[in-house]
A and B are shown apart, each in its own frame.
Chain A
Amino acid sequence: MDRHHVSSDLATSVAEIVSDMKHLEGPLLPILHAVQHAFGHVPNEAVPMIATGLNLSRAEVHGVVTFYHDYRSLPAGRHVLKLCRAEACQAMGGDRLGDRAKNRLGIDFHQTTADGAVTLEPVFCLGLCSTAPAAMLDGAVHGRLDTEGLDTLLAEVGA
């Protein structure tokens, strides 16, 4: 029953989002953003609803959702830590920070800790090459990270 409740809730919200935004020019990306904002991810069940609303095929919407790494098909942890893996950050020790984060959290990139606290993600790139290595925690950027700086960020999220 509970599950049924959730999915009818999803249907109503997605239908509202689609009908509010379908008149925009190029409405698919804004709609996907809004759905992700509302649910923390773009649920697979939302894809057919969006497709029908915009008169696209499911495949087309699926293609767009999977093209952008920022759209998730599963909910993220309470905090999202993104470590920049692009050239400048790698040159400034980004790889070491990555390994350290993985070890401390006990997860690999693209994974979420068992307690649902943190999701760790690679990113290419944050545009902060002059202050490499860089990271982004819940939308806030941090530059010139070293082991200590990373540990502080991890401590903030309870790891």
Chain B
Amino acid sequence: MLLVPETDFGTPASRAEKLVTLTIDGREITVPEGTSIMRASMEAGIQVPKLCATDMVDAFGSCRLCLIEIDGRNGTPASCTTPVVPGLVVHTQTARLKDIRKGVMELYISDHPLDCLTCAANGDCELQDMAGAVGLRDVRYGYDGDNHVKARDGDGTNARWMPKDESNPYFTYDPSKCIVCSRCVRACEEVQGTFALTIEGRGFDSRVSPGQHEDFLSSECVSCGACVQACPTATLTEKSVIAIGQPEHSVVTTCAYCGVGCSFKAEMRGEELVRMVPWKDGQANRGHSCVKGRFAYGYSTHKERILNPMIREKVTDPWREVSWEEALAHTAAEFRRIQYQYGRESIGGITSSRCTNEETYLVQKLIRAGFRNNNVDTCARVCHSPTGYGLGQAFGTSAGTQNFDSVEQTDVVIVIGANPTDGHPVFGSRLKKRLRQGAKLIVIDPRRIDLVRSPHVEAAFHLPLRPGTNVAVVTALAHVIVTEGLCDENFIRTRCDWSEFEDWAGFVSEERHSPEATEALTGVPADALRGAARLFATGGNGSIYYGLGVTEHSQGSTTVMAIANLAMATGNIGRPGVGVNPLRGQNNVQGSCDMGSFPHELPGYRHVSDDATRDIFEKLWGVTISDEPGLRIPNMLDAAVDGSFKGLYIQGEDILQSDPDTKHVAAGLAAMECVVVQDLFLNETANYAHVFLPGSTFLEKDGTFTNAERRINRVRKVMTPRNGYADWEVTQNLARAMGLSWTYTHPSQIMDEIAATTPSFAKVSYAYLEEKGSVQWPCNEAAPEGSPIMHVDGFVRGKGKFIRTEYVATDEKTGPRFPLLLTTGRILSQYNVGAQTRRTENVVWHEEDRLEIHPHDAELRGIRDGDWVRLASRSGDTTLRALITDRVATGVVYTTFHHPTTQANVITTDFSDWATNCPEYKVTAVQISPSNGPSEWQAEYEDQARQSRRIAAKLEAAE
């Protein structure tokens, strides 16, 4: 195996359609208009020497190495900043150019350390390469005199020298190796959009500075690593490369964090991961990454990872390490015993949104064909189940309508209930890039998220609604669009059901839905709302991006339908730049939904009561499948408390931490007789487990993840599973222990079975993915290349369906005892329940969850910044430290939920979406008061967790 080759063309590709032909070094080449001569040369196979150019950022023209000569023109222009012109005759190598380049390199090297052999970039240094390319043999200026290289100069210290900045946990900045090419500064600006870096000073004093001459960690740097990737020298280098050395082979795989699904090259030395580098050809991320994907993989080798199966009689016992055979035989026997004793419906399972499609498919197959019931659910229950339901109703498919590239052609963006720069950072960067190009932004969020205003990005409108009033706000937007005659009637008449539209238009036009009528309820000023509605309806391509702030409400499904209505009414469906785009939370939450993880749906969103669909699987699997929907997660827990549900197989999900009303979840789990947890770590749910099956990481298995744009991306194994088996093998072994005769030897066979049974996956196979890189479902005979944009010529369901969206206030209301509304969200450096990211260096950015509270609300309660506060709701209470900020409005408080000790879900209620049971995480009435420290529950919980995590063999070994 070798490193996956990637060509650096020096400058970005031109999108122009007009072609230009010119001659470079005697070769004729045709490229799109606007292409630089540097890029055209590279496409012709001629590498012009360069240092400051790289194709992730625009041309800059500062290094003076890429000079060329052009017949009929004076001078030696830079090839990176000179565009092609028809008929141009270019020479990239002449006596004059050779002299200039050598001279320039001499100057560079006269102020650069000569420690190549011990340098971390040795073998991957463009400066070294260019010294070789220009034939540098001597530096006439010598290495004495003014320099940035030596810590001491003669007798005194060298004032120009700066020590290494090692403050960032993942990379170092060594100013002595910097050639001031500005690539890092431009990557931070153009690719990431954070603008954390600059070149300070001028001339010989110039240097890279994070913030105002501070270290990286204290600056605004978000550690996305784009600067490290852009750096041509060892100035910015991954600490892992410094520790290990250069990689020798690489494998393209898919990130296992959020639903953006970035493609990465896992750069390896043997079975050791040296670094993750975003893959330029990855169509979701286009060569960019965030701190989690690029750097936060250390959890896979964390000391707390469990590598041996364990069982115990009672959850109060310590764990006992056993062989795989014993663990699986024990589990199978227990499940069979429970079913014999309590009935076929008394066990079930939960599939994982973090595992692969193939693994998820196997878990639901085990439940349907082995457990012989439909008691399967997935964590999408608690996040995007309303998306599935709402979009299914309106359009006929349960998924977003666009690809991520679509954002490059949008003109007006509504971001509602999502915080892309934290939750979906790479998409956030792509959105910011488009906004800097002039697209307009409308943010609908109770909190002033970064997109509302951050360097070079400013929302045209921020509608700071009161939590729980999404339906009222989106319906009011529709009111303005309909009553002011801004609908796209042509689109509606041709693509949607006109009579349903008329009914809906009549409904939203009622005066009670006007912004003025709803202002008191929603807290959104009527004129701002009107302005936003007009902008969206008239501003060109309008797209809507939303997240859990939409779905995790008692009216989550209604809001999704209201969003679909808005998109259809304005004709914003079915072409690039528009659409309804749910930002899915987990790497494979889309896939887990696609794979039949819901109790009422077989793979491909086909209802279990559909005889034809059941027939396909019954014939293949040789069993009869129940035509009755099974239990959802909350129903399983209720049934457990009632005593009729006794066994649960949970793959890669931590329901005790992630599901609402922790105490109820704990009671349900405690009432079961066999809880099987398959995970990397002893997660919170494992405190109540009887069997622990160690899981494998995404680096240790083959498979596919499906991201938020329905893109099926390959996950490729780069190392042997440390626990012995990939998760699909564990499920298969459990199935075998239960008497099923499964014989998969590779996940590709599972995908073949999915393709054979599921029409939207009909053409998908590993061979096809190898050929195409990735495809977006539906991918079948009708759409052999996959479907980047959906509903292009017509809606999947036929005619688009407008649905009335009546606002019904949640039952969770503020009152004298609980006067504030709590809403929750995520932060960039941590991921969901934090099981992975808390076990990486990412904790330097977020070591605890804090409660954001407005200064006014804080002052009323005598709370100062950093104080411990008690956060109480009708369900329970917890404590955490306050963070005083005006990002939240008065009356609203906010926290993240990444740390188990915070126990934010002790607070949340058991209210849920009317259609899908998706919990109402985003609205809880609370009271805040000063506190001395952790609550009684937190102390009890800590104690119980500590007791529960004891491992017998390890205790003995320690003694």
Q: How far is the CB of A125 from chain B (nearest CB, A)?
A: 15
Asked if B219 CB lies within 8 Å of chain A CBs, one says yes
- List the B side residues contacting A47 at CB < 8 Å: 212
Option from B196, B201, B453 in Cβ contact (under 8 Å) with A67? B201
Given A60-B195, A63-B199, A67-B202, residue A55 in contact with residue B453 (CB < 8 A): yes
Asked if B86 CB lies within 8 Å of chain A CBs, one says no
Please report the total number of A residues contacting B with Cβ < 8 Å.
Answer: 15
Asked if B458 CB lies within 8 Å of chain A CBs, one says yes
Asked if B210 CB lies within 8 Å of chain A CBs, one says yes
- List the A side residues contacting B458 at CB < 8 Å: 55
Q: How far is the CB of B208 from chain A (nearest CB, A)?
A: 10
Asked if B455 CB lies within 8 Å of chain A CBs, one says yes
- List the A side residues contacting B195 at CB < 8 Å: 56-57, 59-60
Given A56-B195, A59-B220, residue A51 in contact with residue B209 (CB < 8 A): no
**B453 close to A62 (CB less than 8 A):** no
Q: Which of A48, A56, A63, A67 has the most CB of B within 10 A?
A: A63
CA distance A44 to B211 in the complex (A): 11
Asked if A19 CB lies within 8 Å of chain B CBs, one says no
- List the A side residues contacting B337 at CB < 8 Å: none
Residue of chain A at shortest CB distance from B195: A57
Option from A44, A59, A67 in Cβ contact (under 8 Å) with B197? A59
Asked if B198 CB lies within 8 Å of chain A CBs, one says yes
Q: Which chain A residues (36-69) contact chain B, with CB distance < 8 Å?
A: 44, 47-48, 51, 55-60, 62-63, 66-67, 69
**A59 close to B210 (CB less than 8 A):** yes
Contact with A along B208-226 (1 / 0, CB 8 A): 0111110000011000000
**A55 close to B220 (CB less than 8 A):** no
**A55 close to B200 (CB less than 8 A):** no
CA distance A58 to B211 in the complex (A): 6
Please report the total number of B residues contacting A with Cβ < 8 Å.
Answer: 22
Option from A44, A55, A62, A69 in Cβ contact (under 8 Å) with B455? A55
Residue of chain B at shortest CB distance from A51: B455
Q: How far is the CB of A131 from chain B (nearest CB, A)?
A: 27
Contact with A along B774-808 (1 / 0, CB 8 A): 00000000000000000000000000000000000
CA distance A55 to B213 in the complex (A): 19
- List the B side residues contacting A69 at CB < 8 Å: 202
Q: How far is the CB of A85 from chain B (nearest CB, A)?
A: 14
Q: Which chain A residues (91-111) contact chain B, with CB distance < 8 Å?
A: none
Q: How far is the CB of B589 from chain A (nearest CB, A)?
A: 33
Asked if B194 CB lies within 8 Å of chain A CBs, one says yes
Option from A51, A56, A57, A62 in Cβ contact (under 8 Å) with B213? A62
Option from B194, B200, B202, B454 in Cβ contact (under 8 Å) with A62? B200
**B453 close to A58 (CB less than 8 A):** no
CA distance A44 to B214 in the complex (A): 12
Asked if B456 CB lies within 8 Å of chain A CBs, one says yes
Residue of chain A at shortest CB distance from B220: A57
- List the B side residues contacting A67 at CB < 8 Å: 200-202
Q: How far is the CB of B493 from chain A (nearest CB, A)?
A: 42
CA distance A62 to B198 in the complex (A): 8
**B198 close to A59 (CB less than 8 A):** yes
Option from B210, B211, B456 in Cβ contact (under 8 Å) with A55? B456
**B455 close to A56 (CB less than 8 A):** yes
Option from B201, B202, B220, B457 in Cβ contact (under 8 Å) with A58? B220
Q: How far is the CB of B401 from chain A (nearest CB, A)?
A: 32
**B456 close to A59 (CB less than 8 A):** no
**A44 close to B212 (CB less than 8 A):** yes
- List the B side residues contacting A59 at CB < 8 Å: 195-198, 209-212, 219-220
Q: How far is the CB of B556 from chain A (nearest CB, A)?
A: 34
Q: Which of A44, A51, A58, A60 has the most CB of B within 10 A?
A: A58
**B456 close to A62 (CB less than 8 A):** no
21 pairs, CB–CB < 8 Å, chain A vs chain B: A44-B212, A51-B455, A55-B453, A55-B455, A55-B457, A55-B458, A57-B198, A57-B220, A59-B197, A59-B212, A59-B219, A59-B220, A60-B198, A62-B198, A62-B200, A62-B209, A62-B211, A63-B200, A66-B202, A66-B213, A69-B202
Other than A55-B455, A63-B200, give 7 A-B pairs with Cβ distance below 8 A.
Answer: A55-B456, A55-B457, A58-B212, A58-B219, A59-B209, A60-B198, A63-B198
Q: Which 10 A-B pairs have the closest CB atoms?
A: A63-B198, A57-B195, A59-B198, A57-B455, A66-B200, A62-B212, A66-B201, A67-B202, A58-B211, A58-B212
